[in-house]
């Protein structure tokens, strides 16, 4: 595997295409709540997801305003420690972190999480557009100057923490709150990791790890022909035939980042992570802070820009052989064995949405057209 110096890792629109004249579904979210036997929903409209840098300032502002709205609304799921509606989506990810990473559910779960977030922004916060995505290869290797961190028409800037020491300490160890942009005053109540400690959104932008977002690392995944090969490449840069160190015991059960800040030593006796170069890790590690945390990363609204970007990659890959690939699933249903056993992922598996709309089968999320979204 190509190595950036050992840094860190974790294993781990607004164009309405169809007739805008049609009335919107009364509750968008019901569209996704059908059972597996019922027919695919007919789309009243198809949401076209576009790259952030292609939106007008007005479109950007309307999206950011809707996210702030979500942060100001109370939780509906009332999951433990959830305070805001925005928290509901963090909890969804936090509480299932071991089921939705490092296994076959990785891409299906995040696809439906993006769709539900988009629908709630629309149905509860008056957002009219589609969920945008961050075209990360444009900014690979230079996240610190990316326009997405704009204070007015973006997600705000870097964390204010002091830099210094090995880079892996920055990313997991430093309390580095953002101080500018629309989310600077927001208090998270979920995270870091499995903890639930009120804190501001942390970031620790790191240009070198962000070079993992370059097009070449996408291209090598796109050239693979099965989901069994494709998903590990996207998630953790694992190429066919290569191996990746398994997470050490207790990795996901632990408290990340350490509190108070200190060294992270997940590989015993090593003290460093292996940085796995992949489209997934580039965005997470390049932004750092909340985003660098495999469990509570949806605490930074950029999470949705990043995972929509990854979802687009999956869809582009599926479209290369659509008939076969919308039915291609592989991998297990968890990152570590459950009750000592591995279970293969299948199309019939039910994804638990923890009260954010109904649960769905993997089958129902395999084809983006069934979710009434498309990409530019």
CB of 281 to ligand NAG, least distance (A): 22
* Three-class secondary structure of residue 353 per DSSP: coil
- DSSP characters for 118-170? HHHHHHHH---SPPPB--GGGGTT-GGG-GGG-SSSSS---B-PPP-S-HHHH
Instruction: Determine the longest span between alpha carbons in the chain, in angstroms.
Output: 62
Site for ligand NAG in 233-272 (CB under 6 A): 262-263, 271
CB of 252 to ligand NAG, least distance (A): 22
CA distance 2 to 284: 18
Q: Which is nearer to ligand NAG, 23 or 268 (CB)?
A: 268
CB of 288 to ligand NAG, least distance (A): 17
Q: Which among 10, 301, 289 has a CA at the least distance from the CA of 133?
A: 301
Q: Which is nearer to ligand NAG, 159 or 279 (CB)?
A: 159
Give the list of residues 6+ apart from residue 302 with CB closer than 8 angstroms, or none. Answer: 134, 148, 155, 283, 287, 291
Q: Which is nearer to ligand NAG, 40 or 263 (CB)?
A: 263
Question: Is the link from the previous residue into 96 a cis peptide, with omega within 30 of 0?
Answer: no
CB of 278 to ligand NAG, least distance (A): 22
Give the list of residues 6+ apart from residue 79 with CB closer than 8 angstroms, or none. Answer: 87, 88, 91, 92, 95, 354, 355
Q: Which is nearer to ligand NAG, 86 or 170 (CB)?
A: 170
Q: Which is nearer to ligand NAG, 74 or 262 (CB)?
A: 262
CB of 307 to ligand NAG, least distance (A): 26
Site for ligand NAG in 315-354 (CB under 6 A): 344
CB of 65 to ligand NAG, least distance (A): 39
Q: Which is nearer to ligand NAG, 183 or 332 (CB)?
A: 332
Number of residues that bind ligand NAG (CB under 6 A): 4
For 317, the token pair is 């890959």
Residues contributing to the site for ligand NAG (CB under 6 A): 262-263, 271, 344
């Amino acid at each position: 595997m190509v190595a950036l110096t050992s840094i860190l890792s974790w294993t781990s629109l607004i164009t309405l295409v169809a007739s805008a004249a049609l009335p919107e579904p009364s509750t968008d979210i019901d569209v996704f709540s059908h059972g597996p036997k019922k027919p695919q929903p007919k789309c009243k409209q198809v949401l076209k997801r576009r790259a952030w840098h292609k939106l007008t300032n007005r479109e950007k502002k309307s999206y950011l305003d809707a996210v702030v709205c979500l942060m100001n609304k109370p939780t509906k799921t009332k999951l433990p420690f959830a305070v805001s509606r925005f928290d509901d989506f963090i909890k969804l990810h936090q509480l299932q972190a071991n089921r939705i990473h490092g296994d076959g559910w990785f891409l299906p779960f995040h696809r439906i999480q993006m769709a539900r977030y988009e629908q709630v922004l629309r149905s509860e916060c008056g957002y009219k557009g589609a969920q945008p995505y961050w075209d990360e290869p444009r900014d690979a290797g230079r996240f610190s100057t990316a326009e997405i961190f704009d204070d007015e028409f973006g997600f705000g800037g870097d964390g204010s923490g002091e830099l210094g020491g090995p880079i892996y300490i920055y990313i997991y160890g430093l309390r580095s709150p953002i101080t500018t942009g629309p989310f600077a005053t927001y208090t998270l109540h979920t995270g870091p990791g499995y903890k639930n400690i009120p804190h501001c959104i942390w970031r620790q932008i790191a240009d070198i790890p962000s070079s993992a977002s370059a097009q070449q690392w996408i291209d090598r995944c796109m050239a693979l022909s099965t989901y069994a090969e494709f998903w590990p490449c996207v998630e953790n840069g694992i190429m066919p035939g290569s191996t990746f160190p398994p997470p050490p015991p207790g990795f996901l059960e632990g408290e990340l980042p350490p509190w108070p800040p200190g060294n992270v030593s997940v590989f015993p006796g090593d003290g460093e992570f292996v940085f796995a170069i992949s489209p997934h890790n580039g965005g997470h590690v390049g932004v750092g802070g909340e985003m660098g945390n495999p469990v509570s990363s949806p605490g930074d609204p950029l999470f949705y820009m990043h995972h929509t970007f990854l979802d687009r990659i999956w869809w582009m890959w599926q479209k290369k052989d659509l008939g076969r690939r919308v039915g291609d699933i592989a991998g297990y249903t968890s990152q570590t064995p459950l009750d000592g056993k591995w279970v293969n992922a299948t199309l019939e598996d039910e994804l638990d949405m923890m009260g954010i709309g109904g649960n769905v089968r993997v089958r129902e999320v395999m084809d983006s057209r069934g979710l009434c979204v498309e990409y530019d």
